[in-house]
Amino acid sequence: MLSSIGEHVRAIEDPRVERNKKHKLLDIIVLAICGVVSGAEGWEAIEEFGYEKQQWLRKYLELANGIPSHDCIARVLSRISPSEMTECFIAWTRSVSQLTAGEVVAIDGKTLRHSYNTKEKLGAIHMVSAWASQAVRAHWGIENSLHWVLDVTFREDDCRIRRGDSPANFNIIRQVSLNLLKRERSKLSIKRKRFKAALSDSFRENIFSLSD
């Protein structure tokens, strides 16, 4: 994945003006995915993962100005179009799955429990996810327990990320991460796979190599 996703990320419109592009959009998105696969549950944890695993990340990313701050990550991912993020990962999934043209994309939605923001009087967040249908489901091994796993292992319903489009984009990153973890062939639980991915560069690398 890390060697093939770049061409698809280029299709996402970078919301920043040129003078503010200290970090490449590809670096920010891939860092977020790697962090979430390795157990990160928010922007600060993704930044911390980046600093701890910077040497490993530089095998795949330029990181010309180092690791982006959690504020930078949050700001960028709050402004990216969720539909463009979705299309990016669908395109990437099609490429690694060798799908033919004309595959149907199935859309499902979910309202996150506990997501009502009383202070700002914001209603419950409705998450929308998109998956290429049967062929992609076969490739990823997507099961009906997807949302249950996201709730229990990724603590999706308790997530308080809410700036702009960041809730939808973080949910997309979670689902991509879950599918990568499910494809890893060991008998470990998703929770233990995330823990091991945080500790072991070789295990994390294996998770991503399965999609290349």
109 vs 179 pLDDT, higher one: 179
Average pLDDT (101-120) is 43
One-character DSSP codes across 128-184: EEEEE-HHHHHHHT--TTHHHHHHHHS-GGG----STTHHHHHHHHHHHHHHHHHHS
Entry pTM = 0.73
CA distance 30 to 5: 9
pLDDT tens-digit series, residues 70-90: 999 999 999 999 989 888 888
Instruction: Of 53-67, 98-112, 151-165, give the range with the top mean pLDDT.
Output: 53-67
Residues 6+ apart with CB under 8 A from 95: 4, 8
